[in-house]
A = this chain, B = another copy of it.
Amino acid sequence: MRLVVARCQVDYAGRLTAHLPMATRVIMVKADGSVLVHSDGGSYKPLNWMSPPCTLREGTTEDGAVEWTVTSKTDDTLRILIEEIHADTRHDLGVDPGLQKDGVEKHLQELLAEHPGTLSAGLTLVRREFPTAIGPVDLMCRDAAGAAVAVEIKRRGEIDGVEQLTRYLELLNRDPALRPVRGIFAAQEIKPQARVLATDRGITCAVVDYDALRGMDDAEDRLF
């Protein structure tokens, strides 16, 4: 990892072209050759960057100015013209052990796949990620009467999710072997507008308690 604080001008040409006027910024060069140009504000996204794999070449212009050229396989180029360097340090960071996440949609799907009855009494799982031409249905189930039930799972239930489930239901209900298929929209939190739209379309809403589900899972684990 190399950290450079410098007054610089940056030009990118690739998917689009972008230009940064001369100003003082932080340039981060990672071990894999990728380059990030950060300002003192904004979000975690750099003003300009080059993703790996890429190569950095340090040169000088005909005027004698320092010029870095970063090029990728796909001919994208990032050109950094450096007017003045305020700091330039290198650090050996080693390999990072990586990030551990918890609480994302996938985990919620796993838990609901193991406990479909919490969505609606008597519900049983047919399969997860049930494939259709327009994408997989999160959970395909059957209710106590044997009728098909499509479940769409979100961390936060918004209108997009209801639209998605509606598309699946429309397609699935064309299949004589499955129909009638009803829908359940499951989320940790369901926005009022999404609930209204779902209800209007005959879709059941189910608010899921993630901690309770995880608790059920732990309880089961202890039995074995």
Which A residues contact B (CB, under 8 angstroms)?
Answer: 1, 3, 5, 15-21, 23-26, 28, 30-32, 34, 36, 38-49, 51-52, 86-87, 89, 91-104, 133-135, 159-160, 163, 167, 193, 196-197
* Whole-angstrom distance between the Cβ of A154 and the nearest chain B Cβ: 13
B28 near A134: Cβ-Cβ < 8 Å: no
- Residue from B43, B48, B51 in contact with A99 in the complex, judged by beta carbons closer than 8 Å: B48
Residues of B within 8 A of A23 (CB): 93-94, 96-97
CA distance A197 to B41 in the complex (A): 41
Query: In the bound complex, do residue A24 and residue B193 qualify as a contact, i.e. CB atoms below 8 Å apart?
Result: no
Q: What's the nearest-Cβ distance from chain B to residue A28, in Å?
A: 7
* 9 shortest interchain CB distances as A-B pairs: A16-B103, A39-B96, A40-B93, A31-B40, A21-B97, A44-B49, A19-B100, A1-B40, A24-B93
Closest chain B residue to A16 by CB distance? B103
